[in-house]
Homo-oligomer: A and B are copies of this chain.
Amino acid sequence: MSSEGSRRRDVTVADVAKAAQVSKAQAARALGNYGAVSEDVRERVLAAAEGLGYRPNELARSMNTGKSNTIGVVVGDIENPHFGLATRGITDTAKKSGYNVILINTDEERAAEVDAVQVLLDKRVDGLIVAPASSVETAHLKEVRDSGRPLVLLDRAAEGLDVETFAVDMGTISYESTKYLIEAGHRRIAFVSTVRTDGPYVAGMSLDSSQISDRLEGIRRAFEEEGLSQPMDLVRLNAGDADSIMRITRDLLKGPDAATAIIASDGLIALSVVEAIQESGLSIPSDVSLIMYDDFAWTRLTTPPLTVIAQPVYDMGMAAATALIRQIEGRKSSSPAGPPLEARLVRRGSVGSPKDVGVLSQAGS
């Protein structure tokens, strides 16, 4: 209780200068260690600073240098392990280069994102990493671009916006995964995503998420190549919360035209899908096959372990931060691009052949 608890005026360079008997400028130079300072002065200043408990005011510093050493990160949902891991990749990389991170959650709400970007700009962050909630409405991102502030995108691209984007090629992996299901004999393949749309899905429709469009396109392509056509009635967007996903799953699994395989667009969705399947008394993969996006540790522990599409999420965050910082510091891309950010299909136990594979094969085309 010896030190006065309440907020006393901060110690400033002026105070330190006085104590060290030098000019404010010299003290500032020694403290900020820039410019030319004699050894003698430096020592006296540092000692005085130490004694007084001086701490630089980074706000003031940022004001005249125009640099805040802070980057803004805008994601849909930090609670989602996908973003948790990506954020870790970002913060780790940022820290190494001396940057801090201001994190804003948008809940995948466009209005919140517009707001977030504005706030970050007002706070004069040195650059922005955003995982755009919409790949279509990107006016606010264009503004960032135009303001001249470095910007990179994570996870999804933005239409008509030419900025570095760090995401895997969803079309290709989706194509491969679908192919894998088709080869196992599946024809009734469902796709479940939470992406919001105005109306029901029709092929080639423009979606808010480039990710999802690409995945759907990959599925279509795989079917087409076999001379089949994708069962559009099994594409379920707007999946919403856990209850809603379970309802959709039950619906998908019902009747003579039931799905025999489900692709879950992310780990959260898969959780509810699996729960609904278990509740229905069906089993994986003998009754239904399942593939989910993202490879989380728990997917190895379910019975059976899940076949997943693994994305190098941490690396994506790292690459995004690295590129952003390069832009901020005005360096040219030194290394070509870092590792290529590829997704891959991890075959575990949740994909099998549908029961009535013979019948379906004939029904195909």
Q: What is the interface of chain A, defined by CB distance below 8 A to chain B?
A: 3, 5-8, 55-60, 62-63, 68, 70, 77-81, 83-85, 87-88, 91-92, 95, 100-105, 118-119, 121-124, 145-149, 268, 271, 274-275, 278, 296-298, 300-303
Q: Can you give 15 A-B contacts (C-beta < 8 A)?
A: A55-B118, A58-B119, A60-B63, A78-B87, A78-B91, A79-B81, A84-B84, A92-B105, A100-B104, A102-B102, A103-B103, A268-B297, A271-B297, A275-B301, A302-B302
A84 (CB) vs chain B CBs: closest residue = B84
Known interface pairs A100-B102, A104-B100, A123-B100. Does A301 touch B302 (Cβ–Cβ under 8 Å)?
yes
A145 B105 Cβ-Cβ under 8 A:
no
A5 B100 Cβ-Cβ under 8 A:
no
B148 A6 Cβ-Cβ under 8 A:
yes
Q: Which residues from B are CB-within-8-Å of A6? A: 148
A119 B100 Cβ-Cβ under 8 A:
yes
Known interface pairs A7-B148, A81-B84, A148-B8. Does A122 touch B302 (Cβ–Cβ under 8 Å)?
no
A70 B102 Cβ-Cβ under 8 A:
yes
Give CA–CA (A123, B56) in the complex, Å: 9
Other A-B contacts than A79-B87, A298-B302, 14 sampled, CB-CB below 8 A, are A5-B148, A59-B63, A59-B124, A78-B84, A79-B84, A79-B85, A80-B84, A83-B84, A88-B105, A91-B105, A95-B104, A100-B102, A102-B102, A274-B301
Specify how many copies of this chain sit in the oligomer. 2
Q: Which residues from B are CB-within-8-Å of A145? A: 5
Q: Which residues from B are CB-within-8-Å of A104? A: 91, 95, 100-101
Give CA–CA (A339, B160) in the complex, Å: 48
A122 B63 Cβ-Cβ under 8 A:
no
**Pick from B63, B70, B95: contact of A63, CB under 8 Å:** B63
A79 B70 Cβ-Cβ under 8 A:
no
Known interface pairs A63-B60, A298-B271, A303-B303. Does A5 touch B78 (Cβ–Cβ under 8 Å)?
no
Q: Which residues from B are CB-within-8-Å of A88? A: 77-79, 105
Shortest C-beta distance, A106 to chain B (Å), equals 10
Give CA–CA (A272, B100) in the complex, Å: 32
Known interface pairs A88-B78, A88-B79. Does A123 touch B59 (Cβ–Cβ under 8 Å)?
yes
Q: Which residues from B are CB-within-8-Å of A271? A: 297-298, 301
Q: Which residues from B are CB-within-8-Å of A68? A: 59
A278 (CB) vs chain B CBs: closest residue = B301
Give CA–CA (A101, B73) in the complex, Å: 11
Give CA–CA (A145, B3) in the complex, Å: 10
A5 B55 Cβ-Cβ under 8 A:
no
Q: Which residues from B are CB-within-8-Å of A84? A: 78-81, 83-84
Shortest C-beta distance, A7 to chain B (Å), equals 3
The list of the 5 closest CB pairs from A to B, nearest first, reads: A7-B148, A298-B298, A303-B303, A84-B84, A79-B88
A304 (CB) vs chain B CBs: closest residue = B303
A2 (CB) vs chain B CBs: closest residue = B146
A122 B301 Cβ-Cβ under 8 A:
no
Shortest C-beta distance, A239 to chain B (Å), equals 15
A57 B302 Cβ-Cβ under 8 A:
no
B92 A122 Cβ-Cβ under 8 A:
no
Shortest C-beta distance, A328 to chain B (Å), equals 11
